[in-house]
Amino acid sequence: MATSPCLTKALVPLLFTIFLVVIHPVISDDTQALISEICRETSDYAFCSNVFIQNLPSPTTDIVGLTQVTITQSLQAATNTETFVEGLISSEKNKTRQDLYRICQEGYSLLANQYAQANESFAKGDYSNVVFLESRTERFVDDCQNNVEASPSLAEKNRQMKVLINISLITVNLTGN
């Protein structure tokens, strides 16, 4: 059974609308306003906004939910970067550069540990401890960035991690208010 061209022309927009509404729900005005407020305070609005859009648990996510997104994404990024650096170490022939990568590996391991603890504190509602734990993480990224110039991929991961740390601090401070 063939579909008529008129029916096809009518169905495509309808299916697209259903996709947008059901499968990819529109973000509520309140959630979008929060995301905009947070991301305006960062050095990379587009990256920040993308982190939220790709990881929203619901279209009406409040500040607590946004904070959970930032903690989870920061922990995941730290863990992924640590694994990435392990690969750099194993493929690097230069001993000095391996040692510099080990500084990054150790820093990202500590950073991931801080975010794991922050996640536990957040689940308990201990926002002041989350701020304390997160405020100590940027130095690990700085130590890595200051010691490694050879890997553009690692430099980009460091840049993104600094934005994630900033987003996390902004959201948890808004949550605690």
Render pLDDT for 95-111 as a digit per residue (tens, 0 to 9): 999 999 999 999 999 99
Q: Which residue from 118, 116, 123 is spatially nearest to 76, judged by alpha carbons?
A: 116
pLDDT of residue 17: 46
Q: Which residue from 169, 164, 107, 79 is spatially nearest to 133, judged by alpha carbons?
A: 169
Q: Look at the chain and report how many structural domains it folds into.
A: 1
Mean pLDDT taken over the chain = 87
The CATH code of the domain that includes 123 is: 1.20.140.40
Tokens 């927009």: give the residue: 13
Q: How large a percentage of the chain has pLDDT more than 70?
A: 85
Q: Examine the pLDDT at 125 and tell me if it is beyond 90.
A: yes
Give the pTM.
0.83
Alpha helices by DSSP H, 41-151 = 45-55, 63-91, 95-123, 127-135, 138-147
CA distance linking residue 112 with residue 89, whole number of Å: 18
Q: What is the number of other CB atoms lying within 10 angstroms of the CB of residue 20?
A: 11
Q: Examine the pLDDT at 9 and tell me if it is beyond 90.
A: no
- pLDDT digits 0-9 by tens, 29-42: 999 999 999 999 99
Write out 154-177 in H/E/C secondary structure.
Answer: HHHHHHHHHHHHHHHHHHHHHHHC
154 touches 144 (CB < 8 A): yes
Structural domain for 120, as ranges: 5-176
Average pLDDT on 14-43 reads: 74
Tokens 């960035």: give the residue: 145
